Chain A
Amino acid sequence: MGDATGPHLPDATIAPEPGARTERAPDASMELLNSIQRETIDPEYAAVASEGLGRSRAPVLVIVIGLLAGLMFTTSGLRAGVGAKDAAGARTELITQIGQAEQRVQDSRTRATQLNAEIEQIERERLGDAHLLSEPDLIWSGQVSVIGPGIVLTINDNPKDANGTIVDQDLRQVANGLWLAGAEAISINGHRLSARTAIRQAGAAITVDYRSLTTPYRIEAIGDPGALESGFTANSGGAWLNYLRRNYGVSWAIERRKEVQLGPDAGLAVGHAGVA
């Protein structure tokens, strides 16, 4: 320590605090895991025993605790056994709930349609001839229920091939093909298409107007049946379906009808309005 160039270093070192560990345990950072393994039993057991308390003072308590534990174990074991049954029960319960929710949606849509009809009526009464939309406009826009000659086009998945499942794109092509062939009104599985109807995929199902459909898809179109059929078969819609039939085994058929009736698009509502 007698180095002349450096500062003088004391020979003494700082004494450790009383009680402090002089050496840091090499695994100090693992203290949590160590304490878990060290204190596997509540330390109170040892504390109470060393104080000479303890021994059986409350045998009833011990029995009751044991009884509680036994009840818990057995109840849980029994529950695990009936789990499968419960799952089936839950499934039916969920299906019922889905059915009820769908019914509520249906009711609300029916009510919306009724209210729209009332609005229509009031508009007619108050505005008279200055009614906002002419009859062709009402038909084109999909606001009113329409009836007329037309065709029914049925499309079915290929049940043997997952690739032969109809997707939203297919239905869009078909709808466009029908419009192109001169359809005046179209509905898919009872859902009328308007300018604001979306045909989209949601999971495994196709939704039209945000309501999911199931196979077979039944597309009704109003227009001259002959022109619709020949026009559709000749244009992109028919070509698309023929391609699907050839390559994926999708089946489809057109049927002419003297009278087809289509309901209004219940999803239509005023989104923006201003004074003319």
Chain B
Amino acid sequence: MLAIIGLILGVALALVFRPEMPFWLQPYLPIMIVAAMDALVGAARASLERTFSDRVFGVSFISNVAIAAVIVWLGDLIGVGSQLSTAVLVVLGIRIFTNAAVIRRLVLHA
């Protein structure tokens, strides 16, 4: 619940202030967003399963986002940035889909 309030606040703040992303971070923003989505969906599932912990949520969110960005950055350094970001997207995509399916089962019992 608190996370959703924060999310809405964040969207509102971004719409009002239009912050500029630092230029060096821009190539990694899409992958960071997918990592953030994974952490959010995971947290939603955990809270529905009543195992939610804000400490785990915070750590997993920040580390997921940071690791995703670092992996792609490293990939860029050795010339396989796009392939590595595909790998990260596939893994995170599978996780998001599976978690979404579990959430669907928990909420709709279907």
In whole Å, how far is A263's beta carbon from the nearest beta carbon of chain B? 43
Q: A42-B42, A54-B51 are in contact. Are A63 and B95 (CB under 8 A)?
A: no
Whether, in the assembled complex, A68 has its beta carbon less than 8 Å from a beta carbon of chain B, the answer is yes
Contacts A41-B46, A70-B10, A72-B36; is A48 near B55 (CB within 8 Å)? yes
Residues of chain B with a CB closer than 8 A to A75's CB: 14, 19, 21, 29
Contact B56 A65 (CB under 8 A): no
A46 CA to B51 CA in the complex, in Å?
6
- Closest Cβ of chain A: how far from B108's Cβ, in Å? 18
Question: Least Cβ distance of A36 to chain B in Å?
Answer: 5
Q: Chain B contact residues: over half helix, strand or loop, or mixed? A: helix
Taking the nearest CB of chain A, how far is it from the CB of B61, in angstroms?
A: 5
**In the complex, A37 Cα to B97 Cα: how many Å?**
9
Expressed in whole angstroms, the minimum distance between the Cβ of A58 and any Cβ of chain B is 5
B91 contacts which chain A residues (CB < 8 A)?
A: 36
Q: Which of B2, B4, B53 contacts A48 (CB 8 A)?
A: B53
Cα A48 to Cα B11 in complex, Å, equals 30
Task: Please determine whether B4 and A57 come into contact, CB atoms closer than 8 angstroms.
Answer: no
Q: How many residues of B contact A (CB 8 A)?
A: 48
**Beta-carbon contact of B51 and A40 below 8 Å:** no
Question: Do residues B56 and A69 form an inter-chain contact, with CB atoms below 8 A?
Answer: no
Q: Is the CB–CB distance between B19 and A71 below 8 Å?
A: yes
Known: A58-B58, A59-B54, A79-B21. A67 touches B13 (CB 8 A): yes
B2 and A41 contacting across the interface, CB-CB below 8 Å = no
Q: What distance in Å separates the Cβ of B45 from its nearest Cβ neighbour in chain A?
A: 6
CB contact under 8 A between A66 and B46, given known A72-B36, A75-B29: no
Closest CB of chain A to B4's CB: distance in Å? 7
A56 is an interface residue with CB less than 8 A from chain B: yes
Contacts of A188-230 to chain B: CB distance below 8 A = none
Option from B9, B40, B53 in Cβ contact (under 8 Å) with A45: B53
A78 within 8 A of B: yes
Least Cβ–Cβ distance between A44 and chain B, in angstroms: 4
The answer to whether B40 and A69 touch across the interface, beta carbons within 8 angstroms, is yes
| Interfacial residues of chain A within 19-51, with CB under 8 A of chain B in the complex | 36-37, 40-42, 44-46, 48-49
Q: Does the CB pair B10–A69 fall under 8 Å? A: yes
- Quote the shortest CB–CB distance from B27 to chain A (angstroms): 12
Cross-chain pairs A/B with CB under 8 angstroms, 5 sampled:
A53-B55, A61-B57, A66-B5, A68-B36, A71-B13
Give me 17 other A-B pairs in contact (C-beta within 8 A), A40-B99, A54-B56 excluded. A40-B94, A53-B53, A57-B54, A57-B55, A58-B54, A62-B2, A62-B6, A62-B57, A66-B5, A67-B6, A68-B10, A70-B9, A70-B11, A71-B19, A73-B11, A75-B19, A75-B21
Contacts from A to B (Cβ < 8 Å): 36-37, 40-42, 44-46, 48-49, 53-59, 61-76, 78-79
Closest 6 CB pairs of A and B: A70-B10, A66-B6, A74-B14, A54-B53, A49-B51, A63-B6
